[in-house]
Amino acid sequence: MKIGFVCLAVPGHFNPMSEVARQLRARNHDVVLLSLPRIESAARAANLPFIPFGEKEFPAEKVSEILDTLSRLTGEQGLQFTIDTIARRTKTKWHTFPKLLSATGIDALVLDDCDFYSEVVPMYLGMPYAVLSNALHFDFSGETPLCVYDWAHLNTREARERNRQGVTKFTRMLLRSNAELIADVKKAGLQLNWEDRSSLFYESTWITQCPREFDFESDCGPRQFRYAGPFNSGARSEPAFPWDRLTGEPIVYASMGTIQNSNADLFRTIAAAASKKPVQLVISIGNLLRPEQISPVPNNAIVVNHAPQLALLKKAAVCITHAGFNTTLEALTGGVPQIAIPITNDQPGVAARIAAHQTGVVESLEELNESCLSRRLDEVLNNSMYRDNACKLQQAIAKTNGVSVAADLIEEAFGLINKSN
C-alpha cells in the first residue's frame, strides 16, 4: 500500500506530520508527501519522497504574499483569512487529486484536520484515510470549547450552550469559505452533512498529538479519536547558535513561531520587559524581520532569526510563546513553564489549556505592555507551581512516544498489521 501524507505547507504542520511519515517509512511502508511546491526542499531534507500540487494556483510569489498577510493579522481576521486560504487549496485538491492519485499509485491518504473538507477527495474515490491533528484538535461536540476560542472549560449547561454556539459560528465561517467546493461536491453526487464537520471523519482514525493530560476533560469525542502525544522524535536538525554568548543566567526563550512573527513592537516589548532582570533573553524572530528592527536590544538579549528551539528549551527557565501548539508541546516536553500571548487560529485554545493546567500564564495581545509582561515574567520565574505543573506534563509526555503511537494507529487503520499484535 502506498500512503500519501497531505501536508499544509507551513513548518508548524510539516514538522509533526513528516515525523509520522518518516516513522512509517522506517517500518518499510511506501509513503509520499503531497504539498505545495514551497515545502519540497524540507521534504527532501527529511528524506521523504515528494509530489507537488497546486503549482499553478499557488506559485511561490503567491504563497509568500499569503504568509506575509497572515503574519500581520490577529484574532478572527487571522482565522477567517486562514480558512479562506485553506478553502482555495481544498478546491484545488478536489479538481486535481483524482488524476494525481491515480497516476502516482497512492492507495490511502493521511490528512490534517486543519485541511478543512479535504476528506471529500478520498470519500469520492472510495479511498481509506486517516486524520492527524498537527495543530490542536477541534471538538465539534460542544462538550468543550472549540480550540479557536480562549474560553475556559466549565462543566455547566450554560458553558455547553456557549460552546455549541461557538461551533455554529465557526461552521458558518467554513461553509461560506467553501461554498464553491460544496456545490461541486454535491454535483458529483456526494451527499454529506456539511453542518457537522466531524461527520466527515467520524468513522476514520483520528489522531491528535495533544497529550491526554494537557487536554480538557471530556468523554464525548468520536469513537475513533485517539490521543498519541507529541509527534516529535527530537531528531530534527536545528540552526547554528552563538552558544558562547550564554552567560549562565536563567534563559528566557521567546518565539512567536514561523508565521505570526512580523510584529516588531511585540518583540520590543518582550525585550524591554526582560531588560532589568537577572536573566538571559533569547529571541527568535523568524524570516520576516531583521534583528536591527527590534533595537535597542538590552545587553542581556540575544536576537536571532532562527534558533535551535529544542536545544534551548532544554536549558530554558521560561518560554514566551504565541501558544503555537508545537512550541507549547516542546516547552512541556522540557518541563518549561510558558507565558502565552495567543494571536489567532488555535492559539487561544492552546493558551486556555496552559491556564487550566497552570503550566504558565496567559496575556492578551491587545492589552500587553512592558509593565504587565514584566510582572508576568516575575510571577512565572518566582512561583515554582508553574514549573512543577510543567514537569508533571513532562513526565506524562515521557511515558508516551507520540510518533510511534501515531504510526501504530495508521498501520491498524489501513490494515497493515494484525490488531491482535
- What's the whole-model pTM score? 0.95
Is 332 within 8 Å of 394 (Cβ atoms)? yes
Average pLDDT over residues 152-164: 96
- Return the domain boundaries, the chain: 2-229+400-413, 243-398
Q: Report the run of H or E that residue 176 belongs to, with start and end.
A: helix 157-177
Q: Name the grid cell of 343.
A: 494571536
DSSP at 198: G
Nearest Cα residue to 53 out of 9, 110, 112:
9
Say whether 243-398 and 2-229+400-413 share the same fold: yes
SS3 of residue 117 by DSSP = coil
Q: Architecture of 2-229+400-413 per CATH? A: 3-Layer(aba) Sandwich (3.40)
Q: How far apart are CA 399 and CA 343, in angstroms?
A: 31
Q: Architecture of 243-398 per CATH? A: 3-Layer(aba) Sandwich (3.40)
DSSP character string of 241-304: --GGG--SSPEEEEE--SSS---HHHHHHHHHHHTTSSSEEEEE--SS--GGGGPSPPTTEEEE
Instruction: Return the pLDDT at 421.
Output: 40
Q: How far apart are CA 217 and CA 115, in angstroms?
A: 25
Q: What is the per-residue pLDDT across 175-195, written as a single tens digit (0 to 9) for each?
A: 999 999 999 999 999 999 999
Nearest Cα residue to 70 out of 84, 56, 58:
84
Q: Report the percent of the chain where pLDDT is more than 90.
A: 88
Q: What is the per-residue pLDDT across 54-81, written as a single tens digit (0 to 9) for each?
A: 999 999 999 999 999 999 999 999 999 9
Q: What is the per-residue pLDDT across 273-287, written as a single tens digit (0 to 9) for each?
A: 999 899 999 999 998
List the alpha helices (DSSP H) in 75-138.
75-104, 120-125
Burial class of residue 54 in the structure, from the number of CB atoms within 10 Å of its CB (0-12 exposed, 13-18 middle, 19+ buried): buried
Nearest Cα residue to 21 out of 42, 53, 46:
46
Instruction: Return the pLDDT at 56.
Output: 95
- Mark 273-293 as b/e (b = at least 16 C-beta within 10 Å): bbbebebbbbbbbbebbeeee
Nearest Cα residue to 339 out of 317, 310, 371:
317
Amino acid 28 reads N
Instruction: Return the pLDDT at 403.
Output: 97
Nearest Cα residue to 413 out of 143, 201, 268, 102:
201
Average pLDDT over residues 121-127: 96
Instruction: Return the pLDDT at 250.
Output: 97
Is 359 within 8 Å of 389 (Cβ atoms)? yes
- Mark 222-259 as b/e (b = at least 16 C-beta within 10 Å): bebbbbbbbbbeeeeeeeebeeeeeeeeebbbbbbbbb
Average pLDDT over residues 43-62: 95
The residues, any chain, with a CB within 8 Å of residue 254's CB and separated by 6 or more, are 267, 270, 281, 282, 283, 284, 319, 320, 321
Per-chain mean pLDDT for the chain: 94
Residue 138 confidence (pLDDT) above 80:
yes
Is the bond leading into 250 cis (omega within 30 degrees of zero)? Answer: no
Instruction: Return the pLDDT at 418.
Output: 54
Is 112 within 8 Å of 17 (Cβ atoms)? yes
Average pLDDT over residues 43-51: 95
Instruction: Return the pLDDT at 201.
Output: 80
Of the two residues 339 and 294, the one the predictor is more confident about is 339
Q: What is the per-residue pLDDT across 386-419, written as a single tens digit (0 to 9) for each?
A: 999 999 999 999 999 999 999 999 999 999 975 4
